[in-house]
Chains A and B, each alone.
Chain A
Amino acid sequence: MSHFYLFELGCEELPSSALPNMAADLQTHVESALKTAMLGYGKVEVIAAPRRLGVMIEHVAPRSEDKAVERKGPAVKAAFDANNEPTKALLGFCRSLGVEPDALTVEESEKGAWLVYRGTDPGVLANELIGSLMTEAVSGLPLAKAMRWGSQRDEFPRPVHWIVSMLDNEVVPVELFGLSAGRTTFGHRFHAPDAIQLEHATDYQRAMQNAFVIASLESRKEACWKSIQQVAADHQLQVEPDESLLEEIACLVEWPVALCGEFEDRFLEVPDIALIAAMRGHQKYFHTRNCVTGDLSNHFITVSNIQSQKPDEVIRGNQRVIRARLSDAAFFYHTDCQKTLFERRAALDSITFHPDLGSLGDKTARIASLLKAMSEAMNMSPDQAVRAAELSRCDLVTEMVLEFDELQGAMGSIYATRDGEDVEVCDAIGDLYAPAGLHDDIPQTRLGCLLALADKLDTLTGLFAAKQPPTGSKDPFALRRAAIGMLRINEHPELQLDLQPWVEQALAGQPIQSDKDTLDAVIQFIQDRERVRLTDQGIGHDAVHAAQASHGLKTTRVTKVAHTLYQWQTNNEFAAVVEGNKRAANLLSKYPDALKPVDPTRFESDAEEALFRALQQASASVAADVSRETFNQALETIVSLKGPIDAFFESVMVNADDVSLRENRYALLHEVRSVVMQVADISMIQY
């Protein structure tokens, strides 16, 4: 006979942002506690709704499994006195286990004879065990934002009011937050305000359903979405799935009822993104589209928490709110449209970007100058580039972006289009902040890429010049994200630049003079980010270092080479060439003098001759492969040097007594390194 267990913490409305994680954590904690205690169970279902968090556990075993125990007691010498009577030590040991001395066995070990207890810890009844497991699971929950309430010291995300803990029809004691568990729960705050007494743990779901609560988050999400789609269909509207909005809504209601409201047509003149931001961000509404045209419609869908006696009142209320929100948005839009975007450029001069790095206007000017040079180097229109840069931050002083900061960039693009700016310029402005997150898209156009790249270069080099690089977890200017964004943007097929000259130029353009150390620190910072990115893809640190040593800030090349090295790392012949390179690098590092070119007339052995010839052939072919970026072929050529390199080390004494012989042999080793270094410094590969 197995049991059904119910645990519920009754709370004031839990924060919607934390609820999904709390539910998942509780499930993990409960299951791990059950496993550790060896108490068998079937399915664990989580209860997660605004006013409740808990679990229902099916098929709980009647008792936990028996555990074999072994306890080492006193040494035989210490266990019995001269009269062979048990000593205090032995009696104490036995008492602690609740056994008689004759239950122990003697075991011989190298250190002598010892008394040992071997027995079985009988399992514990589920109702004696499960309460402490729940206490442990709840107390161990990681809480992002916890609070205290009243005059007590316990912490939880919101005040806790009741606890239900029942195994079948029996209350299992649990004490938490100054409360004792019972069988009393509560349903929907308004639909079913009275206390509910549960006869049996399995009554819970039915009781909740009757009390207007869908206790499972997943079921509630489904019910929400179904209700939303039904309402949309009734009004012949389309809704787009929006998983994160749906989850947030499901965490805000216990009894979802979708309703459709509308706003005046006139607001549709405001750009869609602003309308959607107002509906979604502020009001958590789903926006809707016309079924036929796909255009944004003047209807919205809200999900209420009650089956209202007068749903029209709820709709009317929501319409009033959104009208106010949209009036604001329209006010911002009209105010903004009274000036062109470019007319706002001057306002940037009075907004500080950074005390040491000047205003946003100064930053804009630096980006324009950098972008001009980049566009010229890439045979693009410098005028377009400068225009894009000059306009790119002007939307920051528009009312719309001051209200909805997430619309920065996109709003600028819309206003620029309205002003009749060049299409490519408008597109690029919208891309200034891309990619916003790790998984967001990089700009599509080349100009957009360059603008976003130039901005990040300026921020990165500026903050390093101001001696404010990120430290530990502190990265207030999001420089790590900027560097990763640069690496990703540079992967655009029409870019793939060597970033080195642009880093140098961006740094030189800063109002603070900086030295070589600052430049090196910036490069190092970018390369560190690159290494993290590539190692996250499974590539070793050594392969990335090896590629970076040869290709610096040609970042797309580094990626390709690192991937190729990764493929070759398991190859034995490659490993041998790596070994030869390590030797060569090691020897060269200790050679203090400048080297002359290899002099073939000074060769004394065939091995020297053969290596030299192999290198001459390989050099040109590797160079050609590198320029074509066919790195696999380049490595094949390098691996073919294994024979000559091995033969050289086997038969030639590098440190010859004769100075000129010795010099010539070092020069030959240097040649080996030069050929290989065209692809990567493979001496850095670790085995």
Chain B
Amino acid sequence: MPTAGTPDVSTFQGLILALQQYWAEHGCVILQPYDMEVGAGTFHPATFLRAIGPERWNAAYVQPSRRPTDGRYGENPNRGQHYYQFQVVMKPNPENLVELYFDSLKSLGIDSSVHDLRLVEDNWESPTLGAWGLGWEVWLNGMEVTQFTYFQQAGGLECYPVTGELTYGLERIAMYLQNVESMYDLVWTRHDDTIVTYGDVFLQNEQEMSAYNFEHANTEFLFDAFNESERMCEQLLTAELPLPAYEQVLKASHTFNLLDARHAISVTERQRFILRVRNLARQVAAAYYQSRLNKGFPLADPDIRASILKEAAS
């Protein structure tokens, strides 16, 4: 039995608690999920915006993520339109980030002398965010459980220093630890004789949301909403409010994903929509950088701050 203070990683919520505890011990700010629909933890301002500019930043958080096209009406044991990511960002990436990561798995009870753990080349790119990085997908016995990325660019801006990003796929890891074949069978928590499963919490949601995403979402409204987000974003940029402007990017991006799930966007139009979002993301990135520059990059290391401020002044 887990003792008080040691999370029980044989439950889904215990897994989250264990990761939070591990990364808190390694200096991360433990944040909460961003309260908007996003496709991945990367969209959280704590990753995308904080990767911009020279300031130090270490954070970890859970992010519920929505990918409408991945919906399977709750019938696929591994895939859903809503799932959880556990996100860790460290800027600059510590030299031993890979080791820290593998140690985090050890803290979850994943024994590297038993399991085949591998770093498989995977170069990450987000066309909508104008961001890219190099890294790996981490395989646990052939299953991708984490995305590991060294950010090189965000919103079209060079990332310096480099942010190291870890994105754990929580359901997959939990299925491993709990040895179940379907994510809906995962034990979310147990107390005395009562067990609450992932299915109890999310199965009906998955069924209904799949139907909404694929069948009912009003595409006419969504096209209008996309246009409105774009307009609002540009207006907010003019007002030099990069944070609310960024929320409009998130709205536009999710609206685009819904339209995509409805097959409402053709292949060539698709590219144009992506470019529209990217264009907004770039402008927001530049505006955010400027806003931090105006404040003198208070969280940057003194020597890096001095050199960047000097560069900006000239």
Contact = CB atoms under 8 A, between A and B. Distances in A.
A173 interface: no
B93 interface: yes
Interface in A139-163: 145, 147-151, 157-159, 161
A353 B269 CA distance: 10
A190 B93 contact: no
Contact of B152 (A147, A191, A352): A147
A527 interface: no
B111, B134, B181 pick with most chain A CB within 10 angstroms: B134
A324 B77 contact: yes
B103 to A, nearest CB: 11
Nearest to A285: B142
B115 A354 contact: no
Contacts of A322: 142
A404 interface: no
Nearest to A327: B76
Tell me whether chain B's interface is mostly helix, strand or loop, or mixed.
loop
Interface string A28-50: 00000000000000000000001
Contacts of B161: 150-151
A191 B114 CA distance: 10
A12, A161, A305 pick with most chain B CB within 10 angstroms: A12
Interface string B88-120: 000011110010001000000001111111111
A13 B136 contact: yes
B150 interface: yes
25 contacts: A13-B121, A15-B121, A15-B134, A16-B120, A147-B133, A148-B160, A149-B162, A150-B94, A151-B160, A151-B162, A157-B134, A158-B134, A190-B112, A304-B116, A306-B115, A309-B111, A320-B175, A322-B142, A323-B181, A324-B76, A324-B77, A327-B77, A352-B266, A352-B267, A354-B268
A161 B98 CA distance: 11
A145, A316, A321, A359 pick with most chain B CB within 10 angstroms: A321
User: Nearest 10 CB-CB pairs, A to B?
Assistant: A317-B141, A13-B119, A15-B121, A304-B116, A318-B142, A352-B266, A324-B78, A151-B161, A190-B112, A147-B134
A308 B119 contact: no
Interface in A343-390: 350-355, 359
B123 interface: yes
Interface in A313-352: 313-314, 316-318, 320-324, 327-328, 331, 350-352
B121, B134, B136, B160 pick with most chain A CB within 10 angstroms: B121
A314 B140 CA distance: 8
A353 to B, nearest CB: 7
B200 interface: no
Contacts of A161: 95
Contact of A318 (B92, B120, B141, B301): B141
Given A151-B92, A151-B161, A151-B304, 14 more contacts: A16-B120, A16-B121, A17-B121, A50-B119, A149-B162, A305-B118, A309-B111, A310-B114, A314-B115, A317-B142, A317-B143, A318-B141, A320-B141, A352-B269
A294 B201 CA distance: 47
Contacts of B267: 351-352
A145 B123 contact: yes
Interface residues of A, number: 50
Interface residues on B, range: 35 or more
A350 B266 contact: yes
B181 to A, nearest CB: 7
A302 interface: yes
Interface of A: 12-13, 15-18, 50, 145, 147-151, 157-159, 161, 189-191, 252-253, 283, 302, 304-306, 308-310, 313-314, 316-318, 320-324, 327-328, 331, 350-355, 359
B115 to A, nearest CB: 6
B276 interface: no
B282 interface: no
Interface string B236-266: 0000000000000000000000000000001
A313 B141 contact: yes
Contacts of B266: 350-352, 359
Contacts of B160: 148, 151
Given A352-B269, A355-B268, A331 B141 contact: no
A537 B182 CA distance: 58
A33 to B, nearest CB: 28
B301 A308 contact: no
A304 B141 CA distance: 8
A435 to B, nearest CB: 23
B292 interface: no
Given A15-B121, A190-B112, A331 B92 contact: no
A313 B114 contact: yes
B102, B114, B116 pick with most chain A CB within 10 angstroms: B116
B176 interface: yes
Contact of B268 (A189, A309, A324, A352): A352
Interface in B180-219: 181
A320 B143 contact: yes
Contacts of A16: 120-121
Interface of B: 72, 75-79, 92-95, 98, 102, 111-121, 123, 133-134, 136, 140-143, 150, 152, 160-162, 164, 175-176, 181, 266-269, 301, 304
A15 to B, nearest CB: 4
A179 to B, nearest CB: 11
Contact of A308 (B93, B113, B175): B113
Contacts of B121: 13, 15-18
Contacts of B112: 189-190, 306
B301 A151 contact: yes
A189 B142 CA distance: 17
Contacts of B79: 324, 328
A183 to B, nearest CB: 20
Given A145-B123, A328-B76, A321 B141 contact: yes
Nearest to A150: B92
Contacts of B134: 15, 145, 147, 157-158
A150 B120 contact: no
Contacts of B119: 12-13, 50
Contacts of A331: 72, 75-76
Nearest to A261: B142
A353 B98 contact: no
A252 B118 contact: yes
B164 to A, nearest CB: 8
Contacts of A190: 112-113, 117
B273 to A, nearest CB: 12
A322 B139 CA distance: 13
B257 to A, nearest CB: 15
Contacts of A253: 118
Nearest to A14: B121
Nearest to B175: A320
Contacts of A323: 181
Contact of A353 (B94, B133, B268): B268
A193 B144 CA distance: 23
Nearest to B136: A13
Contacts of B301: 151
A351 B269 CA distance: 9
Contacts of A308: 113-116
A149 B93 contact: yes
B306 to A, nearest CB: 13
A157, A159, A253, A309 pick with most chain B CB within 10 angstroms: A159
Nearest to A161: B95
Contacts of A351: 266-267
Contacts of B304: 151
Contacts of A158: 134
Contacts of A353: 268
A147 B150 contact: yes
Contacts of B102: 189
Contacts of B78: 324, 327
Contacts of B120: 16, 252
Contacts of A147: 133-134, 150, 152, 162
